[in-house]
């Protein structure tokens, strides 16, 4: 099982399949989107040059080819190292033989009006909407 659909870790399931691993591969991420590229969030997407479809790192066909159990929009909420299981926000439990944790960092959100955070696709779309002339 691998957590979080970010670029470097997204390559890992593909590598495992290429190496001949034919067991179950589960990818858990708390965002609702297929893996996407983050750098354009603060560049091409924000300036309006690209839309969100441009950011996608894999097509649905790529994902089908990997035979992944893809759990999007699902946060991992706990880890039981002894029983080798990850708890998910939907109250299910995911057993694992091998685990990659790639949860990145969480930005510190400042209180008050006018402070924006730009980390996710949703952040970027909100900011772009806010910057657009009414
Ligand atoms: C706006 C922006 C611009 C950037 N521009 C550049 C650039 O120009 N050049 C460059 O080299 N890099 C750039 N980066 C950085 C780069 O794209 C990647 O974000 C970085 O390399 C990987 O970040 P990370 O390891 O923190 O993981 P993240 O990218 O943060 O991915 C972690 C994922 O895990 C998910 N997650 C976290 N906790 C849980 C949980 N409990 N359960 C399930 N899922 C969870 C998160 O929602 C997220 O989807 C940029 C990043 C951003 C946000």
- Cα of 29 from ligand 1 centre, angstroms: 12
For the residues of 21-83, what is the DSSP string, one character each? --S-EEEE-SSSSS-B-SGGGGTTTTTTSS-GGGGBSS-HHHHHHHTEEEETT--EEEEETTT
- Cα of 134 from ligand 1 centre, angstroms: 30
Higher pLDDT, 59 or 106: 106
Higher pLDDT, 61 or 43: 43
Candidates 7, 9, 32, 38: which one to mutate for ligand 1, based on the most atoms within 8 Å of Cβ? Answer: 38
**Average pLDDT for residues 42-51, to the nearest whole number?**
92
Entry pTM: 0.86
Number of domains in the chain: 1
| Full domain range(s) for residue 90 | 2-131
pLDDT value at position 134?
A: 65
Q: What is the domain-level CATH number for residue 105? A: 3.50.50.60
């Amino acid at each position: 099982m691998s957590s979080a659909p970010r670029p470097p870790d997204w390559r890992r399931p593909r590598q495992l399949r290429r190496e001949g691993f034919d067991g179950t591969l589960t990818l858990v991420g708390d965002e609702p989107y297929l893996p996407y590229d983050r750098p354009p969030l603060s560049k091409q997407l924000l300036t309006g040059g690209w839309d969100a479809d441009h950011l996608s790192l894999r097509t649905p066909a790529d994902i089908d080819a990997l035979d992944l159990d893809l759990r999007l929009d699902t946060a991992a909420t706990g880890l039981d190292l002894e029983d080798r299981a990850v708890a998910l926000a939907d109250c299910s439990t995911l057993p694992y033989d091998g685990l990659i944790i790639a949860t990145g960092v969480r930005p510190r959100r400042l209180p008050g009006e006018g402070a924006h955070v730009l980390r996710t696709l949703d952040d970027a779309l909100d900011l772009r909407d806010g910057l657009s002339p009414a």
